[in-house]
Amino acid sequence: MDFRRGICLFAWLLFVCVNAEDEQKLLSNYNEYQVLEPRIFLPIIARNIEHSLPNWLGHIEKLDYPKNRIYLWIRSDHNEDETASILHDWVDKVRPLYHGIDINTTNIDDKYEDAISANHWSLLRFKRLIDLRQAALDEARRLWADYIFFLDCDVYITHPNTIWSLLEERKAIISPLVHSFVKKSAFSNYWCGRDEKGYYMRTDEYLPILKLENKGCHEVVMLHSVTLIDLRRTATTKLYYKPEGSNYDGPIDDVMVFAHAVKEAGLKFHILNKDYYGYLIEPMPGRATLYDAQMKFQHVKLELIVDDIELAESAYIPVKYPVADKAGFDEVFVINLERRPDRRKKMRLSLQLLGINGTFIAAYDGKRVSDEEIENLGIKVIDGYADPYHGRPVTKGEIGCFMSHFLLWEKMVRENLQVVMFLEDDIRFEPDFRKKLEGLMTEAKQVEWDFMYLGRKLVNEQAQDTGIDGIQHLVRPGYSWWTLGYVLTLEGAKKLLAPKPLQRFVPVDEYIPIMFGDHPE
């Protein structure tokens, strides 16, 4: 059945010529059998997600399903942030669009009594979630919804047609395949095997489904995080989340209880993997704080930017960004080739997330430099120079790279800039970059230094770093390459310029190790 049009199947033979009167009759019959789209009950159970809610709601808004056929049931409590107020603000703006919205954000307490952190899945938190899921299921049945679509707030549906795709499979319980934001992770929203106690068990069937090697709709033993349930099926009336009154004797866990209820009802779980339908955020460690969750989500977004993937943003709730500054430096130079606007865009988005006010500098483009220009610059390559590992001469790309940095060293001296951070436009930031950077700069006050690598490559196994007494996160680097990111003092800039390096030119990757005395030759 084509659920998008909601039309019962009939064997219409439309390949014959018809006159206007017959055509009108056919149209009349067509209209007679049109039906409305199924009614979807969508529970939203949100807690401590102020940092991610504008993006998550953006993906809800982009679902390609008639909003007047969706009923939203929203619950939020035990918040330590502004999740509840954001939800109310959003509901005020979207209420006319949906069939109905029931929102209750009574903040019983900001924390669970037995929780050790904001992200800890304590017994009381599990019990509360079970109560809410059961209440949602009961309300969906009371309202005669056709389907209930459980969608956790750590799942981001990126495929707008997901609901239609699930409906077309006609399964009682089905989930779309979503995969982790973390590359190479095997975490997803289904299990293919369970042990005797009901816990996760690895099977040979799992990875082919995850990697889309075996596409289709597959029977599995467990689903979580995002699930569509057909409430019109008689057997689904036996489903429950609260185990009271049943023969369930397992752990207090909503996923485990529901899996038991599904088995008891004689139903099956199915996972749809004809495509990837979205992403999910992997669970945080039990002791993770709200700040940890915020930084994890920030890093997820930074990684997506590098991979040319942007999360949706709500049309009604703006995403909040930190106030941008120079991160404690006199200047932050971002070196970018003008012919790479794609990298410039990525860096602007990344720095916006990090709250860093970078100054973009057009890189010296080696591909466009002529031999005459090289001569006019006074560049003279050391006689007989060859790359120590590949044996090749200096390339124009290496000349362009050196000049990009050299001109900024001159700018530092000219403008008396005391400490500057340099970033190239193809970097990936570490999780919690700002806090780590602040920690490094605090430690650096305990030692004398001119140049600090933020991103580099140890060239070989013989290139050993040397620890510094009393310093945890800084070392004296061994022979290293790359100038992806570094911090330079004014005195350091003067030292780099003093030998007049253009007159005895080597690539910047070689020049810097030479200057700190750790080049092997």
Could you tell me which residue, 68 or 372, shows the higher pLDDT?
68
User: What values do phi and psi take at 260, rounded to 5?
Assistant: -65, -45
| pLDDT tens string 341-378 | 999 999 999 999 999 999 999 998 888 888 888 888 88
Q: Up-side HSE of residue 313: CA atoms within 13 Å toward CB? A: 9
14: pLDDT strictly greater than 60: no
Could you tell me which residue, 406 or 8, shows the higher pLDDT?
406
How far is the C-alpha of 394 from the C-alpha of 508, rounded, in Å? 11
pLDDT (mean) for 12-34: 59
Q: Up-side HSE of residue 445: CA atoms within 13 Å toward CB? A: 5
How far is the C-alpha of 65 from the C-alpha of 6, rounded, in Å? 12
**pLDDT band per the 50, 70, 90 thresholds, residue 6:** very low
pLDDT value of residue 12: 36
pLDDT value of residue 183: 82
359, amino acid identity: T
pLDDT value of residue 464: 63
| pLDDT tens string 382-407 | 776 766 666 677 788 888 888 999 99
pLDDT value of residue 16: 44
Exposed e or buried b for every residue in 81-100, given b needs 16+ CB within 10 A?
Answer: bebbebbeebbeebeeebbe
DSSP 8-state code for residue 205: T
62: pLDDT strictly greater than 80: yes
Question: What is the chain's mean pLDDT, rounded?
Answer: 89
| pLDDT tens string 191-228 | 999 988 888 899 999 999 999 999 999 999 999 999 99
pLDDT value of residue 10: 38
pLDDT (mean) for 169-179: 98
pLDDT value of residue 373: 85
What percent of the chain has pLDDT above 70?
86
**CATH homologous superfamily of 38-280:** Spore Coat Polysaccharide Biosynthesis Protein SpsA; Chain A (3.90.550.10)
Q: Where in the chain is the domain with CATH 3.90.550.10?
A: 38-280
pLDDT value of residue 9: 39
CB 305 within 8 A of CB 342: no
152: pLDDT strictly greater than 60: yes
Radius of gyration of the chain (CA): 30
pLDDT (mean) for 480-488: 80
49: pLDDT strictly greater than 70: yes
The label of the residue with tokens 């299990």 reads: 191
Q: What residue spans of 416-499 are helical by DSSP H?
A: 433-444, 490-497
pLDDT value of residue 470: 66
How far is the C-alpha of 174 from the C-alpha of 118, rounded, in Å? 31
How far is the C-alpha of 147 from the C-alpha of 239, rounded, in Å? 13
Q: Which fold has domain 321-516?
A: Spore Coat Polysaccharide Biosynthesis Protein SpsA; Chain A (3.90.550)
Residue whose C-alpha is closest to residue 465's, from 452, 454, 475, 450: 475
pLDDT value of residue 381: 81
How far is the C-alpha of 239 from the C-alpha of 221, rounded, in Å? 16
